C-alpha cells in the first residue's frame, strides 16, 4: 500500500524558515517524480514544485522560486521542501504527491498534508 506521510509544518513568522518532510513507503520511491502541492484556506490547489527520480531536475511555480528548494533522499525514501523567506501568502496545507510512470504531473497518491501558518 502506498503511503505518504508529511511532517514539519507549524507556525512561523514572516521571513522565517521551515523544512517539510515526506516519508514514502509502498512503492519504489527512486523511480518516480515527486511533487509538493499546497492549498490555502478556501482556495484551489496549487502545484509548488517537483523533482525528478534521481534528483537531477527541479521545477517550481514562479511565486516560490528562489525561496523554496525541493530535494529528495532516495536511500531514505524521503522528499523535502526547504522553505525560506516565508510570506503570509505561503500559509496553506502542503501535500506531497507521487507522480506516475505516465508523467510527473499526474498526482496518483497524496499524503494527508501538513499545515504551514505564516503569521506574526
Partner 1 sequence: EIVLTQSPGTLSLSPGERATLSCRASQSVSSYLAWYQQKPGQAPRLLIYDASNRATGIPARFSGSGSGTDFTLTISSLEPEDFAVYYCQQRSNWPPYTFGQGTELEIK
Positions in the binding site for partner 1 (CB under 8 A): 44-47, 59-62, 95, 100, 102-113
Q: Which is nearer to partner 1, 30 or 109 (CB)?
A: 109
Q: Which is nearer to partner 1, 16 or 39 (CB)?
A: 39
Mind giving me the DSSP string for 40-94? -TTS-EEEEEEE-TTS--EEE-GGGTTTEEEEEETTTTEEEEEE-S--GGG-EEE
Q: Which is nearer to partner 1, 46 or 53 (CB)?
A: 46
**Smallest distance, Å, CB 7 to partner 1?**
15
Q: Which is nearer to partner 1, 5 or 16 (CB)?
A: 5
Number of C-beta neighbours around residue 62 at 10 A: 6
C-alpha span between 68 and 65 (Å, rounded): 6
Residue in the structure block whose three cell numbers are 507549524? 10
**Smallest distance, Å, CB 70 to partner 1?**
12
**Smallest distance, Å, CB 68 to partner 1?**
13
**Smallest distance, Å, CB 2 to partner 1?**
10
3 state DSSP class of 30: helix
Amino acid at each position: 500500500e502506498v503511503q505518504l506521510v508529511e511532517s514539519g509544518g507549524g507556525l512561523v513568522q514572516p521571513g522565517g524558515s521551515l523544512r517539510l518532510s515526506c516519508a514514502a513507503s509502498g512503492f519504489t520511491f527512486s523511480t518516480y517524480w515527486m511533487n509538493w502541492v499546497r492549498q490555502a484556506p478556501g482556495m484551489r490547489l496549487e502545484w509548488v514544485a517537483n523533482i525528478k527520480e534521481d534528483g537531477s531536475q527541479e521545477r517550481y511555480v514562479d511565486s516560490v522560486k528562489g525561496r523554496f528548494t525541493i530535494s529528495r533522499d532516495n536511500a531514505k525514501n524521503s522528499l523535502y521542501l526547504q522553505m525560506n523567506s516565508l510570506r503570509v501568502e505561503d500559509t496553506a496545507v502542503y501535500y506531497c504527491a507521487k507522480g506516475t510512470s505516465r508523467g510527473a504531473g499526474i498526482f496518483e497518491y497524496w499524503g494527508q498534508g501538513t499545515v504551514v501558518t505564516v503569521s506574526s
